[in-house]
């Protein structure tokens, strides 16, 4: 295919050159015998120049223009002693180059615009296909939950019939473990694919953090990790979906727990920064590898063996629904830090308290 294109390019180039040479021949032959044909062939030089510029852009237009000038130069020697004709022919050669350059630049711009258009259309079509595939996948995943529930029920029924320590017990435990893992994956996928609209209620950010700490306390003990909290008590209640932010923060904390070796420390903090609520999770693990740092919130990107790569993507999606941002950076003492930043939306009660505190501060 490439050799065929190269061959066509050579043929077109030769054709343009041959056309310019033929026009030059007619032009020279008609100098004295056919004045009208002489003038006409001089104007016909523009056709191969414009065609070459349209076909190959600036490179083609400039090449055809220079070729026309080279073929036209011998004609100039016949008018060295005729200033008016000489200047006219000089201007004609300048026009050859100018038309080649201008047409080539416009042709290149048109090709770039056409290429951008094709890419945009391709991305739209790809987006439609991905959206359809996402809907299909979400439907399939939803249907998978029914047989998983049946398998779970059957395993629970066999639990009392198969004594612990027997050979069959290992198979039952394996079934239960794998079903639980699949159910977690299905739940995460549906949460990511079909997030519900946030229900904004008056919620204190610190209450969300304390709830997450309570849910993970056993895991901290099991892994022998220490937890440090730095909570800003001056934070007011804000309008947020507490369950969604708790889910996002829980995903970050679980990720930190899994990344921190036994004996390590995890720090949770809350603060007010430039009118935004900031919730931070810092661990003392190895940190986020540079190779995946830019894609760490992309679905199915994970650094953990056996991980789904959906936890951080779900957290990103939930925070984004609140108009916030989430990012990661290297912690000062080693490890990784994940920060959630959301706009402060004080509830009516919090607004009154903030206004009262402001008046007191001014009076003092």
What pLDDT score was predicted for residue 349? 58
> Worst-scoring range by mean pLDDT, 23-32, 42-51, 340-349?
23-32
What pLDDT score was predicted for residue 302? 74
Q: pLDDT of 111-142, one tens digit each?
A: 888 888 878 777 766 656 655 555 656 666 66
* Single pTM value for the model: 0.53
**3-state DSSP call for residue 278?**
strand
- CA distances (Å), 4 to each of 9, 10, 51, 60, 331, in order? 9, 10, 20, 19, 57
pLDDT at 184 over 80: no
Q: How confident is the model at residue 205 (pLDDT cuts 50, 70, 90)?
A: very high
- Of residues 303 and 21, more confidence is placed in 21
Tell me the residue length of the chain. Answer: 364
Q: State the helix-helix crossing angle for 242-259 and 205-222, rounded to 10 degrees.
A: 30
User: Using an 8 Å Cβ cutoff, are 229 and 266 in contact?
Assistant: no
Q: How confident is the model at residue 273 (pLDDT cuts 50, 70, 90)?
A: confident
Residue-averaged pLDDT of the chain: 80
Strand intervals (E) in the chain: 201-203, 226-230, 238-240, 265-273, 276-282, 325-330, 336-343
Highest mean pLDDT, choosing among 162-166, 195-199, 209-213: 209-213
What pLDDT score was predicted for residue 299? 77
Q: How confident is the model at residue 5 (pLDDT cuts 50, 70, 90)?
A: low
Q: How far apart are CA 357 and CA 364, in angstroms?
A: 11
Q: pLDDT of 45-79, one tens digit each?
A: 888 888 888 888 888 888 888 888 888 777 766 66
What pLDDT score was predicted for residue 352? 60
Q: How confident is the model at residue 351 (pLDDT cuts 50, 70, 90)?
A: low
What pLDDT score was predicted for residue 141? 62
Q: What's the mean pLDDT in 89-96?
A: 82
pLDDT at 289 over 80: yes
Q: pLDDT of 216-256, one tens digit each?
A: 888 899 899 999 999 998 888 888 999 999 989 998 998 89
Highest mean pLDDT, choosing among 39-43, 121-125, 294-298, 344-348: 294-298
Q: What's the mean pLDDT in 179-203?
A: 76
Highest mean pLDDT, choosing among 16-25, 36-45, 278-287: 278-287
Q: What's the mean pLDDT in 73-94?
A: 73
Cα 254 vs. chain centroid, distance in angstroms?
26
Joined together, the tokens standing for residue 17 give: 């050159």
Look at strands 276-282 and 336-343 and give their pairing. Answer: antiparallel
What pLDDT score was predicted for residue 267? 93
What pLDDT score was predicted for residue 360? 52
Total Cβ atoms within 10 A of residue 322: 21
């Amino acid at each position: 295919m490439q050799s065929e294109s190269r061959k066509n390019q050579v043929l077109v180039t030769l054709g343009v050159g041959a056309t310019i040479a033929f026009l030059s021949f007619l032009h020279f032959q008609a100098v004295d015998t056919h004045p009208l044909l002489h003038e006409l062939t001089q104007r016909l030089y523009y056709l191969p120049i414009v065609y070459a510029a349209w076909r190959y852009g600036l490179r083609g237009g400039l090449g055809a223009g220079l070729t026309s000038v080279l073929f036209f130069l011998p004609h100039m020697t016949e008018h060295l002693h005729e200033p008016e004709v000489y200047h006219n022919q000089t201007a004609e050669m300048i026009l050859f180059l100018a038309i080649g350059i201008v047409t080539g630049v416009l042709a290149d711009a048109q090709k770039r615009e056409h290429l951008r258009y094709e890419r945009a259309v391709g991305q739209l079509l790809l987006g439609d296909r991905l959206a359809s595939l996402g809907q299909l996948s979400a439907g399939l995943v939803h249907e998978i939950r029914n047989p998983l529930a049946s398998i779970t029920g059957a395993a629970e029924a066999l639990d009392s019939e198969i004594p612990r320590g027997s050979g069959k017990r290992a198979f039952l435990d394996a079934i239960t473990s794998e079903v639980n893992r699949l159910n977690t994956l299905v739940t995460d996928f549906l949460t990511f694919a079909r997030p519900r609209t946030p229900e904004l209620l008056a919620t204190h950010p610190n209450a969300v953090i304390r709830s997450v700490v309570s849910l993970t306390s056993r895991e901290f003990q099991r892994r022998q990790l220490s937890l440090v909290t730095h909570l800003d008590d001056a934070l007011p209640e804000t309008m947020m979906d507490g369950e969604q932010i708790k889910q996002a923060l829980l995903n970050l904390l679980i990720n930190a727990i899994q990344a921190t070796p036994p004996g390590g420390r995890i720090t949770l903090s809350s603060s007010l920064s430039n009118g935004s609520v900031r919730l931070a999770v810092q661990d003392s693990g190895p940190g986020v590898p540079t190779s995946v740092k830019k894609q760490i919130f992309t679905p199915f990107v994970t650094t953990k063996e056996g991980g789904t790569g959906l936890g951080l993507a779900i957290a990103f999606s939930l925070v984004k629904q609140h108009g916030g941002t989430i990012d990661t950076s290297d912690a000062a003492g080693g490890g990784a830090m994940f920060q959630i930043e959301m706009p402060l939306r004080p509830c009516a009660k919090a607004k009154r308290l903030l206004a009262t505190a402001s008046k007191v501060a001014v009076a003092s």
